[in-house]
């Protein structure tokens, strides 16, 4: 299972005009090829009168699924440069569609490659790139006499606090990076003189802005 990777925060759209042609970019996070294809079809339906709806996507931990479609533009001048931008950014699970309304001025092969690459880059800025890091949710149970100290230490630490449950004992749930569990356990034990009980919970991804 992957531990951390880059992807887009969510849906994003942008528009640029190059030599009177409008390039509308739509980007989203997807977890399957079916989701990517559905997103592409949604954009194509929205812009039926456009000259081109070019697309590209990368899916899977090792980019096992990747496609590029020029949708009528000269071969290799649209989908491929769009896909290359995603690769160079190191993104995973991302789909992009660039819709072009022709403005009457031909851009040539090199011009098209630059235009679709720039449109994709602009779209990524709108969608925002995030890093997803795998964490272990840990439950820390302590007596109420330790609550003030433990909560204060946790809130000023690098471990994101998820929630606090006030049961028979206080239960604090927080996220610890994978492979940092032993260091975390030692930290908690030292802080509470060994009075805390730490129980691992689920593993989840936490998102951080890049």
| The pLDDT value given to residue 96 | 98
- C-beta of residue 71 within 8 angstroms of C-beta of residue 78: yes
Please tell me the predicted confidence (pLDDT) of residue 2. Answer: 77
**What radius of gyration do the chain's Cα atoms show?**
23
Give φ, ψ of 103 to 5 degrees.
Answer: -100, 5
- The model's pTM is 0.86
- Gap between the Cα atoms of 83 and 31, Å rounded: 16
In this predicted model, what pLDDT tens digit does every residue of 69-116 receive, in sequence order?
999 999 999 999 999 999 999 999 999 999 999 999 999 999 999 999
CA–CA dist 79, 58 (Å, integer): 12
How many angstroms separate the first and last alpha carbons of the chain? 22
Along the 210 residues of the chain, how does pLDDT read in single tens digits?
Answer: 678 999 999 999 999 999 999 999 999 999 999 999 999 999 999 999 999 999 999 999 889 999 999 999 999 999 999 999 999 999 999 999 999 999 999 999 999 999 999 999 999 999 999 999 999 999 999 999 999 999 999 999 999 999 999 989 999 999 999 999 999 999 999 999 999 999 999 999 999 998
SS3 for 191?
helix
Which pLDDT score, from 0 to 100, does residue 126 have?
96
Distance CA 100, CA 23 (A): 5
21-29, strands of its sheet edge to edge: 12-18, 21-29, 94-101, 52-59, 65-69
State the pLDDT at residue 1: 66
Smallest Cα–Cα separation from 53: which of 30, 35, 37? 37
**CA 86 vs CA 7, 28, 93, 150: distances in Å:** 9, 12, 10, 42
Res 3: pLDDT: 82
45 — phi, psi (to 5°)? -65, -30
Determine which helix (DSSP H) or strand (DSSP E) holds 65, and give its type and residue range: strand 65-69
CA-to-CA distance for 60 and 62, rounded, in angstroms? Answer: 5
DSSP lists the bridge partners of residue 55 as 69, 97
């Amino acid at each position: 299972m992957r531990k951390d990777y880059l992807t887009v925060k969510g849906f994003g759209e942008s528009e640029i005009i190059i030599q009177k042609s409008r390039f509308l970019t739509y980007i989203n996070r997807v977890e399957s090829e079916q989701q990517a294809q559905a997103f592409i079809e949604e954009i194509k339906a929205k812009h039926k009168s456009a000259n081109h709806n070019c697309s590209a996507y990368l899916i899977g931990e090792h980019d096992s699924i990747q496609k590029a479609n020029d949708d009528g533009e000269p071969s290799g001048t649209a989908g491929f440069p769009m896909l290359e931008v995603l690769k160079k950014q190191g993104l995973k699970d991302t789909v992009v569609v660039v819709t072009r309304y022709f403005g009457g001025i031909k851009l040539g092969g090199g011009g098209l490659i630059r235009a679709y690459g720039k449109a994709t880059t602009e779209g990524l800025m709108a969608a925002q790139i995030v890093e997803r890091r795998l964490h272990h949710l840990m439950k820390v149970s302590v007596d109420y006499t330790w609550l003030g100290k433990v909560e204060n230490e946790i809130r000023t630490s690098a471990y994101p606090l998820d929630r606090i449950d006030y049961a028979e004992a206080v239960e604090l749930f927080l996220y610890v990076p994978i492979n940092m569990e032993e260091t975390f356990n030692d930290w908690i034990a030292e802080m509470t003189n060994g009075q805390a009980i730490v129980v691992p919970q689920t593993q989840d991804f936490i998102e951080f802005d890049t």
